[in-house]
């Protein structure tokens, strides 16, 4: 974490600094899920024990709490299951303000909720919702939607993930509850682009109970290939059929930048989010959050405008092209004109695979996925790792 800071690491530092936890090892910490480096999260959820102004009460006092306030009675499993009476949100510590003051600007606590002692951010979660943003340039959205619909339901996704043999995962079945490809709403304004966002920027909206490592990015890579017309929608059927495709074909997954963990859902009886302390009277926290995100939005959009201006300058540069005068003077034309001609020539000789966020992979010849080299079946790779681990352990014993 010293070399590659993580959101989790920054959160623990802030929690310790404001004395909400003694250490990260004794707070019964759970997270809803991991996200790859480069992936954003709008709705990541963690659960842990933190300092409170609540107080220990006797069993008799706990039973005498009115029914309307029984949700404020909980058990401290770290102290023998003793009964604790929590204050209402207005008298509890201002957790959001305390932590956000100590976090980097790109990390923010949005809301909090008291939960029961047996709550787990991971196992109590009923579904996770992802969004993947992309430009529709060069893509057939209709074909992508046909392919996306094939992911709906329960399937074996071993060919849509990155395998970690150390985890010895044997069950690759996951359930996709909802999936759609929709335009980015017009209310999401983009600098210099706000008049026509719909139809130009799109988002994959994906909800499932749980996901494998890199599953969404692998799914998106296949959807891009279908959208470009270099694969057909039935490639999804072939890849989820593990009898037909027992080993994952080699392919590059989609870029991490456009992927967002947008929401983690829980039963309404388990979580009641508190965004502000005083039920509409104290909106200071929301104001601070809005200003912080607005500032980030402004900075990033300013960078986008600067990059756009630089790109326009390049496209306007006059360069020599064939077809000059008889005296031998070259004809001058804008680089944009030459670039367009070169792109047309490139399309005839090079296949471009879209990977999202402006990244592409070029190849002289596109090899269909079902004709590519495949990894060994999962069972063999798991077994090879297990045997290698045993060999190394025996070797250490004989040293």
55, β-bridge pairs = 85
pLDDT given for residue 275 in this prediction = 86
pLDDT given for residue 192 in this prediction = 46
d(CA 160, CA 236): 10
Residue in the block written with tokens 């029984």: 70
Helix-then-strand count for the chain, H and E: 9, 15
DSSP 183-235: EPPTTS--TTTGGG-BTTEEEEEEEES---TTHHHHHHHHHHHHHHTSS-TTH
Residue 26 corresponds to which tokens in the numbers above? Answer: 């004794």
Q: pLDDT digit of tens for each residue in the chain (399 aa)?
A: 556 788 999 999 999 999 999 888 889 999 998 788 889 998 899 999 999 998 999 988 888 988 888 878 888 877 888 888 888 888 899 999 899 999 998 899 999 998 888 899 999 999 999 999 999 988 999 999 999 999 999 999 999 999 988 889 999 999 999 999 999 886 666 554 444 444 488 999 999 999 999 999 999 999 999 999 999 999 999 999 999 999 999 999 999 999 999 999 999 999 999 887 766 555 667 787 888 888 888 898 899 889 989 999 999 999 988 776 666 677 889 999 888 888 888 888 888 899 999 999 999 899 999 999 999 999 999 999 988 886 666 555 555
Please report which residue ranges of 42-123 form alpha helices under DSSP H. 59-63, 95-100
361, β-bridge pairs = 353
d(CA 267, CA 245): 37
Active site residues: 36
pLDDT given for residue 321 in this prediction = 82
Residues 6+ apart with CB under 8 A from 157: 172, 173, 174, 212, 215, 240
Residues 6+ apart with CB under 8 A from 132: 203, 204, 206, 216, 220, 254, 258, 259, 260, 356
- Residue 158's Cβ-count burial label (10 Å; 0-12, 13-18, 19+) is buried
Kindly give the interhelix angle for 141-149 and 215-228, rounded to the nearest 10 degrees. 140
pLDDT given for residue 398 in this prediction = 57
- The percent of the chain in helix, strand and coil, each rounded to the nearest 5, is 35, 20, 45
d(CA 202, CA 145): 12
d(CA 386, CA 395): 14
208, β-bridge pairs = 128, 176
Radius of gyration of the chain (CA): 27
Q: How many CB atoms lie within 10 A of CB 350?
A: 13
């Amino acid at each position: 974490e010293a070399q590659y800071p993580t959101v989790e690491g920054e959160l623990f530092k802030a929690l310790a600094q404001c004395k909400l936890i003694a250490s990260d090892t004794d707070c019964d910490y759970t997270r809803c899920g991991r996200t790859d480096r480069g992936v954003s999260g709008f709705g990541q959820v963690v659960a842990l024990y933190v300092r409170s102004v609540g107080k220990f009460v006797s069993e008799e006092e706990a039973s005498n709490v009115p029914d309307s306030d029984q949700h404020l009675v909980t058990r401290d499993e770290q102290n023998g299951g003793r009964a604790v009476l929590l204050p209402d949100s207005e008298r509890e510590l201002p957790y959001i303000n305390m932590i956000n003051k100590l976090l980097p600007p790109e990390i923010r606590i949005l809301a909090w909720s008291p939960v029961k002692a047996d709550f787990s951010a991971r196992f109590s979660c009923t579904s996770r919702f992802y969004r993947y943003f992309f430009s529709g340039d060069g893509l057939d959205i209709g074909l992508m939607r046909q392919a996306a619909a094939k992911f709906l339901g329960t399937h074996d996704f071993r060919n849509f993930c990155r395998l970690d043999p150390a985890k010895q995962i044997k069950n690759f079945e996951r359930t996709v509850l909802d999936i759609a490809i929709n335009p980015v709403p017009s209310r999401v304004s983009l600098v210099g682009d706000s008049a026509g966002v719909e139809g130009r920027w799109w988002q994959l909206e994906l909800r499932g109970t749980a996901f494998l490592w890199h599953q969404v990015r692998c799914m998106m890579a296949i959807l891009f290939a279908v959208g470009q017309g270099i694969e057909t929608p039935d490639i999804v059927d072939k890849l989820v059929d593990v009898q037909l495709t027992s080993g994952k074909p080699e392919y590059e997954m989609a870029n991490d930048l456009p992927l967002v963990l947008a929401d983690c859902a829980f039963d309404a009886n388990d979580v009641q989010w508190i965004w502000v302390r005083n039920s509409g009277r104290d909106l200071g926290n929301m104001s601070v959050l809005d200003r912080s995100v607005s500032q980030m939005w402004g900075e990033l959009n300013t960078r986008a405008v600067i990059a756009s201006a630089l790109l326009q300058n390049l496209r306007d540069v006059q360069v020599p092209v064939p077809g000059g005068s008889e005296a031998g003077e070259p004809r001058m034309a804008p680089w944009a004109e030459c670039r367009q001609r070169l792109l047309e020539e490139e399309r005839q000789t090079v296949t471009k695979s879209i990977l999202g966020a402006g990244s592409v992979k070029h190849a002289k010849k596109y090899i269909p996925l079902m004709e590519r080299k495949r990894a060994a079946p999962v069972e063999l790779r798991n077994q090879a790792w297990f045997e290698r681990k045993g060999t190394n352990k025996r070797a250490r014993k004989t040293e």
